[in-house]
Each structure stands twice: as structure tokens, then as C-alpha cells.
Amino acid sequence: MTSSDAAFEQLIIDARQWASQDPDPTTTAALLELADLASAGDAGATQELGDSFNGTLQFGTAGLRAALGPGPNRMNRVVVRRAAAGLAAFLTETVAAAVPGSRPRAVVGFDARYNSDIFAEETAAIFTAAGIETFLMPAALPTPLLAYAVRNLDCDGGVMVTASHNPPQDNGYKVYLGRHAVSESGRGAQIVAPYDAEIAARIDAVGALDSVELADSGWSVLPASIASDYESAMSGLVDRQHFPARDLKIVLTPMHGVGGGTAVSVLNAAGFTDVTLVAEQAEPDPDFPTVAFPNPEEPGALDLALAAAADAGADIVLANDPDADRAAVAALDPATGVWRMLRGDEVGALLGAHIVARFAAAAPEEPQSGVFANSIVSSRLLSRIAAAAGYAHEETLTGFKWISRVPGLTYGYEEALGYCVAPDLVRDKDGISAAVLIAEMAAAAKAEGKTIFDTLDDLYLVHGLHASEQLSIRVADLGLLDAMMNRLRVNPPEAFGGSAVEISTDLAEGSDSLPPTDGLLYLTRDQSRVIIRPSGTEPKLKCYLEVIRPVESAAELPEARQAARTALDDVLSDVREALGQ
């Protein structure tokens, strides 16, 4: 018998053994069918089976996320039960060490994807059997509501079963920590190192699946008031005294996700009553039938919403991703006469400036305090807005798990449509609370005869026109990512867009302000910036480009936009060349 024959035989044995312990009849049947087809020589079944058993799905700072299906490298009830048992052990040990004799508390939420409710209920059953006081969300609800509940219910941990804006075949398991597990700045935030490794170690230590105990009852299903409490808190964010305008026609899409009802309720309660849902995308649907990818950033994802807005004569489009932790904004651009979605950096700057204006209006004589923050790959415009208003500003690593932990955080955002406008309530990105302040900002602009694009131009006149672009290079072999990064380290670029590189920083070395991360940052003489890093969730290299052009008057804006676009194209060409593309 050859080694490949032996490996194939072991694969079939592993598959049948897994099927014998799998509590889910659907994945059991699918696995046995795959094993039979593979044994009969079906190459496709063999490949699928091999991938399903190609290692174990690793628990990291994003928790778990993968395609649904049988086997240790997929999302299924076996993997989730082991994850829940490991997390339960971590919470129990952590709370016992922090407050001896205290009983841990945890809350579990879920979206409307396939198996989300099952994964959530089994997690609640395992937590309860482990002695954890457990609360289960009453329905499929947005991720920000789970993050809110971790703080509101004073829990030690939280689990959200969601794959956010991933394709329909995926699901995931996102973990939050609370009161006794982390410092105050991280209470209710997503996990970061070293907690991910500590939880992963507890998962690895879980014994045979039949040793994981599930309670038949004993957890509390939260009343619907948890959702109304969240809605009341988010609608209460508006400043009716200083920003009373409410004349705004909104088209909203929840992208087949769970945020539609909550978002409409919050906007209505905040005084924005002219809200129309995109009918084809209004109800939760795990198949996401009208979009290729349920992500507002993807081409075509907002087509239905933009068409509805044009037909209705709307002022803005608001879009949430399926678990509603991100928000997208689109409006009619007066410069082109075309509806377009604003970049995350544009919305991030607009929200930052609006929050500054809110504080100034509410307490004009008080000194500014608090911290504005964004990820290192986001625009530098927010730092200029914060500095001009007297606020501190920090840059963090990519991901809200880092942004949300900034001590003294007042407002934080990342370019990938994530905004935290109320960190005392939700210590995470929240597409619904962000939508409320976006609406408030847009209505205030409209009351002055402006659009949000005019407001953005006002920022450019003060701080310079900041223009950004991204390049993503997808690879089939993860080893190619290391090869491309090594190529840059061995042969660093000398210029981008005709401007000499003055600062070259290897982010893997870390600094006083940033932990080490695999990435390279280049700053040129004309302040163009290039950041290149491997994606943390997908097999691709991501490049973030930004150029800044000074603008002295509104009349110069069209020329500055064209100059910035040309500069971005030149930088983009040099980035491709440096990567050998």
C-alpha cells in the first residue's frame, strides 16, 4: 500500500468515525454520502472530504468562521459544542480567579443564517451545564445588540453566532468578554490576544464529544424588552436641541439580514419617519438571493437600493450588512449627477466632524476631552479633524477588536464601513447607531441647503482633500502572500507616484503605539501613503493607498479631485509593479 493509499484509507476512517459521533442527522448523512462517493472513486467527493478534514478549524481573534458542513474544518454542531465547552471552561476559570465564589454570566445571540439558532441554543445548554448563568437572545437580532447586552446585563462573556457579510454557505462564532475577564476599556469588546490563545487551549483540552454536557433547561430566554432597551438607547443618541432637523427621505436596506426592523424602529424613534425599506431585501433570508455577496462594499450589492432611492426621490440610502454591525451610505453626488456610495473613510470623517460639532454645540465653554481613533489603514483625515478641535487621536491595528479597546474612546471607525459612535453603550462597531447619527448629520445639511458631499467638501477646504483607494490581490496559495511580502522587504520601493519614499516602516517590528503585525507602511515626500498587509480573514494581499492634496478654495475642488485621482492611479501602478503584478 502506498502512502497516498494509506492516507486515503485513513481519511475514510476519520470521516466515518466523525459521522458516528455527529449529533446532527443532516451533516451525518452528508458525510456518509461523501465517504461512499469517495470510496467509489468520485474525485470531487474525495477533494471535498479531504478539505473538510484538512486540520481543525482554528479559534482566533475572530472566533470561528467557515463554511457549514461536516468535519473538523467546517462549522457544525460538533465544532460548536467543543468551542462552547472550551469557552465555558475559560469563563469559569477566569471569573473564579478574579472573584472567588462568583458565578459567571454570559449572553448568547444569533442571526438568521442556517443553523445559527441551533448553534446558539446548544451553546446556552453547554454554558448552563457548566454552571454559567446564561441568557439567550429572544430572536435573530443584530450583532450590536449582543455587544450591547454584554455590557447592559453585566456579563463576563458573550457569543454571537454570525458570519456577518460572508457568503450564504458560511457561519461563525464571535466571542466578547465582559466584566471580570478584561479591563474596563475592553468590557463588551471582541476578544484579542492573549485571550484567543487561552480560549483555544481550553477548546483543545475538551475531551470526547460525549463528555460535553448539555443542560435540558436552566438558561433564560431574554424578554423582547432587551431589543426595545437597545432601540431606546440608540434613538436617544440624537441631539434634538442643537440638531432638530428631521426632514430627510431615507431608503434603507438590511441586505436580507436581521437589522431591518431594529433600524427602522430606531430611526423612527429618533424622529426620522420617512424611511422606506427595499422590499426585495427587507426580510431575513439566509440565501441572500438578490446579491452575489451580502456586503454593501461589493459591486452591485446596492443596486436595488439605489434604484429605489432614485425612483422615490430620496435624500440618502442607508445600508446595513446582514448582522447590522456595518453601515453604508449613498447619495446623489452633485458633482456628477450620479448616485454613489461613500467610502468608509468619507463617512468616518463626516461622522467624526459631526460628533465634534455635537460636543461643541452642547458644551461650547468646556475643554475637549476624549479620544478619537481609527485603524492604521484608514484615512488620516480624522486625525486632522480631531487635532483641530483639541481632541486626542490614536491609530490602532486593523479590526474593531483593537479600536474598541482604546482607553477614553469617544469615537472610532475603520475604513471597512465600521463605526463606533457610542462606546459606552456598544463597545464595537454598530451600523444602527451609526445610521442614526448619519441621518442627523444629513438632515442638518439639508436644512442648510447642502448635501453630505458639500459637508465633505467643507472638510477638504480646511484639512486638504484626502483621497483613498484599495487593491486586493487574491491568491490560491497562502505561501504566495509570504513571498510577496518578502519581495518587498528585500527590495523596498524607492518611490510611489513619482514621489520618493521618505519613511518605510515594517509593522512586524512593532512600536510604542502599535503591537507587531505583518504589514509594511510607506510615506512619500508628498505625503502619499501606502500600506500593504496580508488579510487576516481571506487568502489575499490588501493594499491601502491615500493621497492628500491642498485646496485653497471651493473653485479648486474639481481640479484637486482630478489631481488626486491621477496621483492614486500612478501610485496604484507602482504598487502593482512592486508586487510583480
Active site residue 499: no
Helix, strand, or coil (residue 317): strand
Residue 516 in contact with residue 507, Cβ under 8 Å? yes
Please tell me the distance from the alpha carbon of residue 262 to that of residue 226, in angstroms, as a whole number: 12
In whole angstroms, give the CA distance from residue 475 to residue 447. Answer: 48
- β-pairing, 275-277 vs 495-496, is unpaired
Angstrom distances, CA of residue 190 to CA of 51, 221, 372, 443, 535 = 29, 23, 19, 33, 18
- Rounded to the nearest 5 degrees, what angle is found at the Cα of 236, between the Cα atoms of 230 and 238? 135
C-alpha neighbours within 13 Å on the C-beta side of residue 354: 29
Assess contact for 149 and 134: CB atoms under 8 A: no
> Which one of 52, 164, 378, 499 is the catalytic residue?
164
Residues 6+ apart with CB under 8 A from 314: 249, 250, 251, 276, 308
Contacts for 551 with CB less than 8 Å, ≥ 6 apart: 460, 461, 464, 465, 557, 560
Which has the closest alpha carbon to 325: 371, 259, 408, 248? Answer: 259
The one-character DSSP state at 491 is: S
218/216 Cα distance (integer angstroms): 7
**Secondary structure class of 412 (helix, strand, coil):** strand
| 112 vs 322: CA distance, rounded Å | 9
Round to whole Å and give the CA distance between 145 and 142: 5
Give the C-alpha separation, 293 to 271, whole Å.
32
Q: Report the catalytic residues.
A: 164
